[in-house]
């Protein structure tokens, strides 16, 4: 076998991206800067060797610089990964090879993650040297490094997935704001001690049930969100006839069922459950309710050949926002289960108001983009921006209301779903807020239902007309 044939065993996309990526100034700069900084730190640490906490201080500094590299700089390199291919019209040329859209996206992602792994490998010698300064929590630091690395992989999946969007705000501005804020929060937790006052490495030592459960759930969440964002990016660059929505929705369905089971068993806190379910369902709602993929004949045929059951499944699993809405109704029903199971233990209306407000909050942007047909091609970004705008506007209204000590203003804006939560928090009449939440949900669901039925019927008629002409 030829020496240069080793890369034959790897994905062509990974080989290409590594060839390009390892030559970029961003990677070379980060690599060299990290080595120089860590080298200087270890040399200067010799002076502090007598200090009892010199070892943990060195660990923290290493983790901080490593975090900046893998949680901010490396994921940010994903911002242009697919958009540059789309702009350069090279996606088409790749799609015409044996590379599927999924392999293109995952190849891009794997390349950046591989380079992050290379950075991870290069800090290991420093951590070994740091061992001699004492006070090392070996398991905690290894698990924490793994958590940082997986977080980096998930964040990279987010930026790579979003980079296929035509919206500059969604693919660039939001990640550039969100990544530093997220990483800063994590670093603050690292520096000042979080999770009960202990350090991160202590927390991640897996010594307690809380540590083990949190770490497991966190890793599962990173995997799910990472997959979801890569799948979304795949949908955005794939040819029309390829259907990536169905698998994504089926996996989201499994995750929603798992979350509902966990929620039914473990959430005794009435306020936490709605937010837990919202965090789980937010990505699938955002994509399903704004998906603009047309229904292509090959996709339709795959469902139609199974007769009535296939057609029924297609109602929820065809690409496009109309079937996405029906699918979201199913997810809503699943998410309602833990509320109903735990109802006896929840005293007031809080959890139901929060639950309904969260549901209405997820539906509200979809109602706006469907009623006003805001920029068809940029529906996903419009959905996300409207969602953020509704939260920001509601927060501002809440601040104004609290300074005026008068909640009437909030009632004027009760059609903005987050306002319903602020109304509840402001001590409004709980029954009235509950009724308002029900009414808003009913209006939004009804509006979307009418539009979705119309859109779905039109797409089915269209696809049958197309089949007739062949």
Partner 1 sequence: MSNSAITVHNLYRFFGPLQAVNGVSFEIPHGSVCGFVGANGAGKTTTMRILASLDYPTMGHAEICGINVTHHPAEVRRLIGWMPDHFGNYDNMTVLEYLDFYARALGYKGAERRQRIDEVMDFTDLVPLADRFSNKLSKGMTQRLCLGRSLLHDPQVLIMDEPAAGLDPKARVELKHLIRVLAKEGKTIFISSHILSELGEMCDSLLFINNGRIVHHGDSESLKKSTDILGGVLYDVQLDGDPQALSDWAVLQPNIEFLESRKNGGRIRIDTEDPNKAADVLARMVKDNLRVVDFHREQRNLEDAFIDILANLEKNQPAFATPPPLPSQASLLPQEPPYDP
Minimum CB separation of residue 99 from partner 1 in Å reads 5
Minimum CB separation of residue 240 from partner 1 in Å reads 4
Minimum CB separation of residue 204 from partner 1 in Å reads 37
Toward partner 1, which CB reaches closer, 290 or 351? 290
Toward partner 1, which CB reaches closer, 2 or 305? 2
Q: From CA 164, how far away is CA 88, in angstroms rounded? A: 12
**Eight-state DSSP code of residue 296:** P
Q: From CA 427, how far away is CA 425, in angstroms rounded? A: 5
Q: From CA 197, how far away is CA 195, in angstroms rounded? A: 6
Toward partner 1, which CB reaches closer, 18 or 260? 18
Minimum CB separation of residue 6 from partner 1 in Å reads 11
Q: From CA 452, how far away is CA 329, in angstroms rounded? A: 12
Tell me how far the alpha carbon of residue 15 is from its chain's centroid: 27
Toward partner 1, which CB reaches closer, 262 or 296? 296
Minimum CB separation of residue 343 from partner 1 in Å reads 41
Nearest to 356 by CA among 274, 259, 450: 274
Toward partner 1, which CB reaches closer, 97 or 216? 97
Toward partner 1, which CB reaches closer, 295 or 410? 295
Judged on CB neighbours under 10 Å (0-12, 13-18, 19+), 399 is exposed
Q: What angle do CA 308, 309, 311 make, to 5 degrees?
A: 65
Nearest to 416 by CA among 444, 435, 451: 444
Nearest to 339 by CA among 250, 390, 273: 273
Minimum CB separation of residue 244 from partner 1 in Å reads 12
Minimum CB separation of residue 82 from partner 1 in Å reads 9
Minimum CB separation of residue 19 from partner 1 in Å reads 6
Chain residues binding partner 1 by CB under 8 A are 1-2, 5, 7-8, 12-13, 15-16, 19-20, 23-24, 84, 86-90, 92-99, 164-166, 235-237, 239-241, 292-294, 296-298, 376-377, 380, 458-459, 461-462, 465-466, 468-470
Minimum CB separation of residue 359 from partner 1 in Å reads 27
Q: From CA 81, how far away is CA 199, in angstroms rounded? A: 35
Toward partner 1, which CB reaches closer, 113 or 162? 162
Minimum CB separation of residue 7 from partner 1 in Å reads 8
Q: From CA 130, how far away is CA 133, in angstroms rounded? A: 5
* Inter-residue contact 13 to 21 (CB < 8 Å): no
What is the torsion angle, in degrees rounded to the nearest 10, for the CA atoms of residue 228, residue 231, residue 233 and residue 237? -160
Toward partner 1, which CB reaches closer, 161 or 355? 161
Toward partner 1, which CB reaches closer, 93 or 176? 93
Nearest to 419 by CA among 368, 335, 354, 339: 354
Q: From CA 19, how far away is CA 344, in angstroms rounded? A: 60
Toward partner 1, which CB reaches closer, 405 or 469? 469
* Inter-residue contact 274 to 358 (CB < 8 Å): yes
Q: From CA 316, how far away is CA 241, in angstroms rounded? A: 18
Q: From CA 379, how far away is CA 326, in angstroms rounded? A: 18
Toward partner 1, which CB reaches closer, 408 or 468? 468
* Inter-residue contact 66 to 147 (CB < 8 Å): no
């Amino acid at each position: 076998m030829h020496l240069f044939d080793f890369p034959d065993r790897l994905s062509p996309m990974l080989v290409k991206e590594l060839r390009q990526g390892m030559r970029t100034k961003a990677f070379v700069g980060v690599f060299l800067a990290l080595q120089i900084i860590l080298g200087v730190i270890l040399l200067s640490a010799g002076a502090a060797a007598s200090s009892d906490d010199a070892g943990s201080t060195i660990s923290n500094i290493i983790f901080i610089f490593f975090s900046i590299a893998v949680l901010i700089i490396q994921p940010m390199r994903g911002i242009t990964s697919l958009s540059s291919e789309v702009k350069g019209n090279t996606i088409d040329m790749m799609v015409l090879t044996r590379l599927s859209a999924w392999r293109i996206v995952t190849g891009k992602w794997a390349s950046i993650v591989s380079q992050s792994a290379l950075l991870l490998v290069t800090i290991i010698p420093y951590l070994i040297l740091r061992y001699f300064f004492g006070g090392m929590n070996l398991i905690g630091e290894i698990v924490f490094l793994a958590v940082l690395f997986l977080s980096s992989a998930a964040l990279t999946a987010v930026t790579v997935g979003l980079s296929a969007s035509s919206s500059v705000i969604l693919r660039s501005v939001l990640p550039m704001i969100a990544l530093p804020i997220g990483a800063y929060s994590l670093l603050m937790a690292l520096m000042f001690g979080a999770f009960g006052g202990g350090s991160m490495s202590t927390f991640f030592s897996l010594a307690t049930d809380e540590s083990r459960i949190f770490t497991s759930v966190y890793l599962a969440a990173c995997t799910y969100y990472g997959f979801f964002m890569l799948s979304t990016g795949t949908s955005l660059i794939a040819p029309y006839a390829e259907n990536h929505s169905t698998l994504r929705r089926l996996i989201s369905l499994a995750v929603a069922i798992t979350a509902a089971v966990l929620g039914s068993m473990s959430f005794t806190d009435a306020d936490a459950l709605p937010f837990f379910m919202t965090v789980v369902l937010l990505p699938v709602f955002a994509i399903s309710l704004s998906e603009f993929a047309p229904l292509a004949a090959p996709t339709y045929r795959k469902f139609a050949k199974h007769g009535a059951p296939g057609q029924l499944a297609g109602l929820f699993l065809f690409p496009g926002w109309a079937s996405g809405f029906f699918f979201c109704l199913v997810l809503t029903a699943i998410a309602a289960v833990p509320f109903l199971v735990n109802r006896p233990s929840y005293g007031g209306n809080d959890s139901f108001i929060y639950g309904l407000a969260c549901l209405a909050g997820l539906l509200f942007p979809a109602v706006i983009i469907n009623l006003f047909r805001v920029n068809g091609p940029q529906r996903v970004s419009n959905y996300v921006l409207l969602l953020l705008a509704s939260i920001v506007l509601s927060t501002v209204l809440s601040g104004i209301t609290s300074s005026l000590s008068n909640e009437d203003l909030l009632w004027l804006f009760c059609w903005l779903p987050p306002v319903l939560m602020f109304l509840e928090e402001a001590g409004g009449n709980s029954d009235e807020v509950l009724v308002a939440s029900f009414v808003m949900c009913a209006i939004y669901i009804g509006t979307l239902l009418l539009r979705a039925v119309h859109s779905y019927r039109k797409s089915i008629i269209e696809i049958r007309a197309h089949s007739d002409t062949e």
